[in-house]
Chains A and B, each alone.
Chain A
Amino acid sequence: MNCRDIAELAPLYLSRELPADELREFERHLGRCRSCALEIDQEASIDARLRAAVGDEMPETATLNRAVITRIDAVSVRRRQFIGVAAAVLLLTAGGAAWWSAHEGSTPRPYTRLYTDAARDHQLEVVEHQPRRWRSGAAGIETLAARYGLPARAAATLGPAGFRLQQAKICGLEGRPVLHLVYTNGAREVSLYLRRNDAQDRSDLHEAVLGREYVDTFRTDRFVAVIVAQGSRADCRQFSRSAAVALQ
């Protein structure tokens, strides 16, 4: 083997895929060529740095897992076609058998994607505070709210006593723009997502629990609303009632 062969075969060497005879030749060359040995050392060092940087990351997946199961639930009307398939894949899923048993006979739920999108958005933007362009001044929030058909000063009065409007922006749920309002009582934050009920949708609405997010929804003739609160079903319900009354 020459230096060119070493450069070419380095990826297979580093992933331990070289056959025994080639491995012996490869290492023999490294033993007598300082330049190639240094190259391989540096590549191994880069790999170790990358593994240390990426390999130790611990992404939180509870919300994501719930969202996936909810979406599977939504398409479960087709489960008869896939019953053997689904049983197999659920075996790959921790707790899959229990979920299957609990959801046997369920019908597809409307707004499923709306719930999961809202729960994820709240988790990322409100709980984890990913950087976003929020409007926090009263005038800026009023301008956004007016675009969604809210009467003047209505946004500030949608929450129950003790909650004040903190910030607002436009975000996307189900691929459609919605008004995202965030309220706080000083200790906890609640998201209210609002869009016009253009289609005069009459589908049933539900409560949902997605990971640590409690999600509630209501609909008036003019609006479809989704409320998300982390860790507190009481906050979610109280907020939902208050906003529903204010928007009637």
Chain B
Amino acid sequence: MPHSGRLIRFACRLTSNRAAAEDLVQETLLQAWCCFHQFEPGSNVRAWLFRILINIFRGQGRRTRREGEAVGLDSAGLHNVIRSTAANPGEALEVLEALDQLPHDHRAVLLLAVVEGFTCREISRILSIPIGTVMSRLSRARQALREKFTPVLSAQANR
């Protein structure tokens, strides 16, 4: 399936749990199949799939809170099951750990913008939030990562 790789990659980072991510993507693709009549021809299929995924994730979050269950984090295993081809694996791991510490809503906008390449307007539609909220969340998410990596970035700037 053409988009399942991108969806699973996004879901893994969003949930920090590979099994939960696979469940989420399965539900997303199944729902897309059942609700394809709601897809607007000519619009972006990938954005539509991400929107479905986000809505299911939010629904699961509400259910989890209602049932009082702890969210299962599995970051130790997560890095092992995703094969990274990054040139600098040590740095990549640090970045991913910093990303995992961001709140879900900040993590989602950052991943959609930077990794998936969606515009702020597209993200606004995917997440059903105003574009101003997308921009402020993006700024805050980048700021949080910058604070984490300030020493490295400063050293680079002084070179």
- The number of inter-chain residue pairs (CB within 8 angstroms) is 156
Residues of B near any A CB (own CB < 8 A): 1-5, 8-9, 12-13, 18-19, 22, 25-26, 29-30, 32-34, 36-37, 39, 45, 74, 76-77, 80-88, 91-93, 95-96, 99, 110-111, 113-115, 119-121, 134-135, 138-139, 142, 145-146, 149, 153, 156-157
22 contacts between A and B (CB under 8 A): A11-B138, A42-B146, A43-B142, A50-B145, A52-B86, A54-B95, A57-B85, A58-B83, A59-B12, A61-B8, A72-B33, A82-B36, A82-B37, A86-B33, A89-B32, A89-B33, A93-B1, A120-B22, A124-B19, A124-B81, A130-B18, A130-B19
Distance of B31 from chain A, by nearest CB (Å):
11
Please tell me if A1 contacts chain B, counting CB pairs below 8 Å. Answer: no
Chain B residue nearest to A42 (CB atoms) is B153
- Among A57, A64, A94, which residue has the most Cβ atoms of chain B within 10 A? A57
Chain B residue nearest to A7 (CB atoms) is B139
For B81, the chain A residues whose CB sits under 8 A away are 124, 128, 130
| Binary B-proximity of A44-68 (CB < 8 A = 1, otherwise 0) | 0111011111111111110011011
Chain B contact residues: helix, strand, loop or mixed: helix
Report Cα–Cα, A23/B111, bound state, in Å. Answer: 24
Please tell me if A17 contacts chain B, counting CB pairs below 8 Å. Answer: yes
For A51, the chain B residues whose CB sits under 8 A away are 114-115
For A47, the chain B residues whose CB sits under 8 A away are 114, 142
Q: Is the CB of B121 within 8 A of A49?
A: no
